[in-house]
Amino acid sequence: MAPVIIALAQLPQPLFAVACSNKNMFFFLPSWYEYLPVAQNADGTCAVQNFAFPHDLLPIGLAIVDILVRLAGLVAIISIIIAGVTYITSSGNPEKAASARKRIYNSLIGLAIVFIAAAVVAFIGNSLS
C-alpha cells in the first residue's frame, strides 16, 4: 500500500487538476453558479469571478429554477412508472385502470411542461452568460 501512495504523490500535479467549469453537475442537477463566470485561482481552486450582488441574483435564481425544474421532471417520470405499475396490477378493475391511465396522461402533460420550462430557463441563462 505504501508504494502506491508514494507513486501517486510523485505524479505531476496537472494530472489531478480539473479544469474550471460552471457545468459541474451532481447526478443530473446543475450547480447553483451554472450561469456565472468561473475561473481558476492561483492556488488551483475554482471560484466565481467578479460577483456583483444585485446584478448576479438573476443568474443564481435561474440556476435554482433549473434545479427545481429538473426535480419536477424526475417526479413526473416516477409518477409515470408508478401509474404504469398500477395499470398493470389493476387486475381487470376498470376504475383502477382508468385512474392509472389518467395519471399517465397527466404525468406526460407535466413532463412536456417541464421540458418546455427547462428549455426556456436554459435559453435565458445561456443568453446572460
pLDDT 10s digits, 11-34: 444 444 456 766 667 778 888 888
Q: Is residue 23 part of a domain?
A: yes
38 near 21, Cβ under 8 Å?
yes
Q: Is residue 3 part of a domain?
A: no
Whether pTM > 0.75 for this model: the answer is: no
pLDDT in tens, 60-112: 899 899 999 999 999 999 999 999 999 999 998 999 999 999 999 999 999 99
Q: What burial class does residue 61 get, using C-beta atoms within 10 Å of its C-beta: 0-12 exposed, 13-18 middle, 19+ buried? A: middle
Residue 90 structural domain: 9-128
DSSP three-state, residue 11: coil
pLDDT in tens, 49-72: 888 888 888 988 998 999 999 999
As for how many domains the chain has, the answer is 1
Q: Is residue 111 part of a domain?
A: yes
- For 35-49, give the DSSP string: TS-EEE-TTS-EEE-
Q: Is residue 104 part of a domain?
A: yes
Q: Is residue 2 part of a domain?
A: no
